[in-house]
Structure formats: C-alpha cells, structure tokens
Amino acid sequence: MVITPREQGLKVAKAIETMDPQIREQANQANRELATKQHQEFKEKFAKGICWHCNKPLTSFDAREPCPHWLLKPEGFEKKHMEVLTERYSWEVLDNFLRWVANEEVFAQNINDLVDEGTGKIAEVTIKYKNLQWSFSCGGNDLSGHEGGGELSKRPHYHFQMYVDDKPFIRYNDFHLPLHTMDVALLEAKRANPKIYKRIVGGAGMAEILHEGNLENIVEHLRSGDGADEVTAPFKMDTFIVAEPGKPMKAEDVQRLMLEARAEGVTFAKKARQMKNVNVTTVVSAGPGVIEQKVRSGRGRKQLRDQDRAWREQQKRKD
C-alpha cells in the first residue's frame, strides 16, 4: 500500500506528540548540536560566496542541479525553475536556508514570522536579504489539499512569493508547491497545537525573539537605542504606569527616571520598575525596523496586480 506524504506526515506528527518528554529532549539536543555545527559551516562558506548545500559559488546556476541558493537569483534562474527546486527540496529546507541568509545581514529583523501580523494561517513568514524578499504561506486548506487549483492543489502544498528590487518575480498564486513528509508532520503538529514553534539555530525570526519567555530579558538588558534609531529600531516598548489607589504619582519622578534611563543607556521600562506604589506594565512589540509581513489575501493579490501593472506601464513609458 502506498502511503501519501500527508498520511506519513500525520503519523510522524502523532509520534512527536506522544513521544516520551525525556527522549524528545534528547533528540532536540542532538539536533541543536548538529544544527549549530552546520550553521557555523554555512557562515564560513557564505562569507566566501560559496553555497553550503552544493559547494559551488552562490552566483552559479545549473538547471540540472537544483539548489536552495537559486533563491538568491543567480543569472539564469527563472520562475519556471521554482517547481523543479521544490520537488527536490522541502519547504523546511528552503525556509531554513533563507533564514540563515537573512540573519547574515541583520539578526531577526529581516524575518517576520509574527503570528499577530499574519492572517491566521498555519505558517506565514516574510524574509528579506538586501534586494530580495521571499514569503511563504500555508493555510489549513493548503495543508489538507483542496479542489479548485488543478491536480497540484489536491496534495498538501504551500504558496510562495518572491520580489526582486521591489518588483514581483514569483506571485503567491503562480504555484501550488509540494509539502514534503516532514513539512506535513511539522505543520500538522502546529495545527494541533498552535503554541508549537520550531527553533532554528541561527535562523531566529521575530516570533522567537518576542516569545513571552524572552520579554523579561529584552526589558532588562536592552540598551537604549541599541544599534538603531527610531526608523530602524527592532523593538517598540510602551510602558504604562498606574498609581495605586490613594497614592498619587508625581510627574517629576517620572521625568527624573526618563533622564536617568537616557544617561545610563537603559530602557525607561527598566527604570520605571524602581518606582514605588505603582503598577508598571510594559508591552514589547516589533519596531519599525522589522520587515513588514507580506500576507496572502484577496486584497494583497489585488494590490500586487496593481503594483505589477503600474510597473509595466512605467516600463512602457521608458521605452
């Protein structure tokens, strides 16, 4: 009997869910150690312009040898090659590779996988590196397979978008790209438990950075203005101070703490905790320096068509 990728993926997802916690942690630790070694090898080769996967220059292209570095748009790579690439390499491998690439430019800010900036799909992420931008999208119907998009839409699949120099190169609705067995397993596990997220060594995005377990460290250790101005800041902090009943708060105390925070190079949120007889709440969110998530929706597709049409008209006028 032939088992489909979806059936196999469901079996793996179930196995992950029922695995003994100790065995799961041992497996996770082994995977982290391997991934750490691989990421270091990637960094060393990337710095030399060499692909970690194929050991060839990142600028090389051979239609007979699909490789994730094709997504860096070497000369010769065209939209039609995307299906060949995704038949060989899973969504997980491509996503991991692009995350590593993006973090070579700036850590986490160029990877927007924040759930609250998406549209509720199982997987939504936008990744940027220099003049390139990639987006992955997979909803519940995509994961299950659906009618209405030909035979390829009936299998578990995802959608992909790629921009080059702010111009569309591949659109979300161009392809129904296949999810491989482990892709299905991971996404089914996430569908069953939305709190599940995969930690990628060297490939952290804003979802991991802004995970609730990290927020205390951000408030406590972030330096005021760390590596960014108001336009490129990775974080936005809103601090609310409410005086306890019957114990008024003095404006001069707040102003003094703001000046001290600036002088010491720490966040006001950290200094505000020194105040007495008040309740302090700090909301940490993605700052203006984080790339916008390019979601897949009806409105988005219309905007994309309008942008593409405007660009073509502009080119005609130039000619």
Decide if 138 contacts 190 (C-beta within 8 A). no
Tell me the mean pLDDT in the region 216-240.
74
Can you give the pLDDT at residue 317? Answer: 52
- Displacement of CA 6 from its chain's centroid (Å): 24
**Has residue 201 got a pLDDT over 60?**
yes
Can you give the pLDDT at residue 89? Answer: 98
Higher-pLDDT residue of 288 and 65 is: 65
Summarised one tens digit per residue, pLDDT across range 278-290 is 898 888 888 889 9
Can you give the pLDDT at residue 202? Answer: 94
Q: 243-248: long-range contacts at Cβ-Cβ below 8 A with a sequence spacing of 24 or more?
A: 243/277, 243/278, 244/277, 244/278, 244/279, 247/277, 247/278
* pLDDT confidence tier of residue 1, bands split at 50, 70 and 90: low
What is the spatial distance between Cα 238 and Cα 302, in angstroms, rounded to a whole number? 34
Can you give the pLDDT at residue 74? Answer: 98
Can you give the pLDDT at residue 11? Answer: 79
* pLDDT confidence tier of residue 211, bands split at 50, 70 and 90: confident
Each domain of the chain, given as residue ranges in start order, spans 5-205, 235-286
Which pTM does this prediction carry? 0.81
Q: What is the mean pLDDT of the chain?
A: 86
* pLDDT confidence tier of residue 151, bands split at 50, 70 and 90: confident
Can you give the pLDDT at residue 59? Answer: 98
What is the spatial distance between Cα 85 and Cα 59, in angstroms, rounded to a whole number? 16
Summarised one tens digit per residue, pLDDT across range 154-196 is 899 999 999 999 999 999 999 999 999 889 988 988 887 777 7
Summarised one tens digit per residue, pLDDT across range 77-123 is 999 999 999 999 999 999 999 999 999 999 999 999 999 899 999 99
